[in-house]
Structures are given as C-alpha cells and as structure tokens.
C-alpha cells in the first residue's frame, strides 16, 4: 500500500519543490490518526490530487484543514477543510530533486 507521486507546483516550497517525488503510505491503519504537521496527499476537485500539510483537525476528526507554506498556496484557506475520506495517503519520504 505504497505509492510514488511526482510533486508539481511550489506551494510547499522550500521543503518540497517542483520535480521532487514523494513516497506515500496508504495503509488504512496508518491513516487512522493524523497530527498537525503531517503531510498528506488527497483528492480535491477540481484541482485533482494535491499535497499539503495538516494545520488542524475538527474536534470530531472528520474534517481536516490543510495549508501550503507558500503565500500564494491554494489550500483550505480558499476551499475550506477537506473531508477525511478524501485523503489518499500520508507522505513518509521526500525524494528531493536537488540536494541542499
């Protein structure tokens, strides 16, 4: 239950840059608990599959507010919190295109 995705866009720069790859774990028991700061990949129509960082969770844990680090990031500040069911997986490894 692991997937590799390629990052496009700069909303998580400088941590994640255009051209990086991320290893995403989709195992259901690992997706039961989320914490602030976790990086998640999720479906968000009409944008498609997005990658953002968790800012906070609703008290019942069913809705998750996600943000990017870039000032122009399109995220929950624009489209609101996302339902937990939209989450595809949690990022466990960033394979950087450039070593710093």
Partner 1 sequence: MFHQLISKLNTKYNFELARAHCDIPCGIYDPISAQIAAVTVVRMIDLMTDLDSKAGEKGTDYHNSLSRYIAVKEEHAEKAKAEIRVIWGDYIKAPHLEKYPELHGLVHQIMQLGSKSRQTTDRQTTLDFVEAINKFTEIFWATKNIATKRVKSPYNPPLELVYPVV
Which residues are at the interface with partner 1 (CB under 8 A)? 3-13, 16, 18, 20-22, 24, 41, 47-52, 68, 70-75, 77-78, 95-97
**Residue 66 and residue 98: Cα distance in Å, rounded?**
25
Task: Report in angstroms how near the CB of residue 51 gets to partner 1 at its nearest.
Answer: 4
As measured in angstroms, the least distance from the Cβ of 76 to partner 1 is 10
Shortest Å, Cβ 43 to partner 1: 11
Secondary structure of residue 80 in the 3-state scheme: coil
Nearest to 19 by CA among 98, 97, 94, 73: 97
């Amino acid at each position: 239950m692991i997937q590799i995705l390629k990052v496009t866009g700069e909303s998580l720069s400088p941590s994640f840059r255009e051209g990086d790859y991320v290893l995403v774990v989709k195992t259901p028991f690992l997706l039961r608990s989320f914490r602030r700061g976790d990086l998640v990949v999720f479906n968000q129509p009409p944008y498609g599959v997005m990658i953002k960082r968790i800012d906070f969770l609703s008290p019942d844990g069913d809705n998750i507010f996600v943000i990017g680090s870039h000032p122009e990031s399109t995220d929950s500040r624009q489209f609101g919190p996302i339902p937990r069911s939209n989450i595809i997986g949690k990022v466990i490894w960033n394979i950087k295109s450039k070593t710093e």
